[in-house]
């Protein structure tokens, strides 16, 4: 399941805090801040989708993520690879390295990361 852009923004605020009350989440936005009813609606939808849960703390709810940022991002990247690059990570890497204007230093860092991953997978 996917989050809407507004839900993703709210989820980013929640991921950065770990746990937060609604007031904390609203305060995380730049001005103009969304209405409390808007944030409450987004949280309700995210709870229904299984991305967020809460604990009762007196009369308040403390919200926390059920899905990690890495898991959510990995699912998106894998979906992009599947849907736009014929399920080929090599096609994705080719597109990424040629279309994003990476510097030589950034490409060298990518090569290093790939070489390290290859080394980990060899017996």
Distance from C-alpha of 20 to C-alpha of 32, rounded to nearest angstrom? 20
pLDDT digits over 21-39, tens only? 999 999 999 999 999 999 9
Helices 5-17 and 69-84, axial angle in degrees (round to 10): 140
Q: Which whole number is the average pLDDT over 33-62?
A: 96
Q: How confident is the model at residue 42 (pLDDT cuts 50, 70, 90)?
A: very high
Distance from C-alpha of 10 to C-alpha of 107, rounded to nearest angstrom? 32
pTM of the model: 0.76
What length does the chain have? 123
Q: How confident is the model at residue 122 (pLDDT cuts 50, 70, 90)?
A: confident
Residue 50: DSSP 8-state: T
């Amino acid at each position: 399941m996917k989050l809407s852009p507004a839900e993703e923004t709210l989820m980013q605020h929640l991921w950065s805090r770990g746990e937060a009350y609604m007031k904390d989440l609203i305060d995380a936005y730049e001005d103009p801040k969304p209405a409390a009813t808007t944030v409450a609606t987004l949280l309700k939808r995210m709870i229904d989708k299984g991305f967020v849960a809460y604990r009762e703390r007196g009369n308040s709810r403390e919200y926390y993520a059920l899905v990690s940022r890495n898991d959510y991002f990995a699912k998106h990247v894998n979906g992009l690879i599947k849907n736009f690059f014929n399920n080929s990570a090599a096609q994705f890497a080719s597109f990424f390295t040629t279309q994003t204007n990476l510097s030589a230093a950034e490409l060298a860092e990518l090569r290093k990361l790939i070489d390290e991953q290859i080394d980990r997978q060899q017996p």
